[in-house]
Amino acid sequence: MAVTQSSGSQLQLTGCPWHDVNEMLQSVGLRPTRQRMALGWLLFGKGARHLTAEMLYEEASQAKVPVSLATVYNTLNQLTDAGLLRQVSVDGTKTYFDTNVTAHQHFYLESNHELIDIPDSHVALRSIPDVPEGYEIARIDMVVRLRKKV
């Protein structure tokens, strides 16, 4: 389990997911409540992944973690605001939460609603548009939609 903080520094993780989730939460100023710890363990204990709130809620239910869907949404948003997750919107209606916060883009498999990472080194932008005065680019998100050939 490895997580890069938004400041670019690497957390020193022990390999014990429960301890690592506690360290991750505390390192970004979030109190390690039982619900945050349990959801963090589900999120980060399986490597890099892309989940919707509903998918995480279903995993929590199967793992007998007593949380509401609203708590799942709140926790995912808090982890995103803290820089531990990256939000990826598809179609403006479906939002995925990515445990890999490094610079990369995504393939979206339309048939099974799945995101797959594209390493940043495999994408080249020829130019970036000028931004309005007083603004700067926070990040660039690209989702390449894929479907099976007919």
User: pLDDT tens across 74-96, in order?
Assistant: 999 999 999 999 999 987 778 99
Residue 96 lies in a domain: no
- Does residue 52 register a pLDDT over 50? yes
Residue 35 lies in a domain: yes
Classify residue 37 by burial, with Cβ atoms within 10 Å: 0-12, 13-18, 19+. middle
Token pair, residue 64, equals: 């007998």
pLDDT of residue 132: 93
CATH number for the domain harbouring residue 63: 1.10.10.10
Q: Phi and psi dihedrals of 93, rounded to 5?
A: -115, -25
- Percent of the chain having pLDDT more than 70? 89
Which stretches of 86-150 are DSSP H helices? Answer: none
pTM for the whole structure? 0.79
Residue 11 lies in a domain: no
- Specify whether 137 is located in the same domain as 106: yes
Domain range for 38 is: 17-90
C-alpha to C-alpha distance for 137 and 135, rounded to whole angstroms: 7
Which of 59, 128, 138, 131 lies closest to 103 in space, CA to CA?
138
Residue 1 lies in a domain: no
- Specify whether 39 is located in the same domain as 78: yes
CA 68 to chain centre: 19
- Specify whether 51 is located in the same domain as 70: yes
- Specify whether 67 is located in the same domain as 119: no
Which stretches of the chain are DSSP H helices? Answer: 17-27, 34-44, 53-62, 69-81
- Specify whether 126 is located in the same domain as 66: no
Average pLDDT, the chain: 85
Confidence band for 16, pLDDT divided at 50, 70 and 90: low
pLDDT of residue 2: 44
DSSP per residue, 45-79: TTSS-EE-HHHHHHHHHHTT----HHHHHHHHHHH
State how many domains the chain has.
2
Residue 71 lies in a domain: yes
- Specify whether 108 is located in the same domain as 54: no
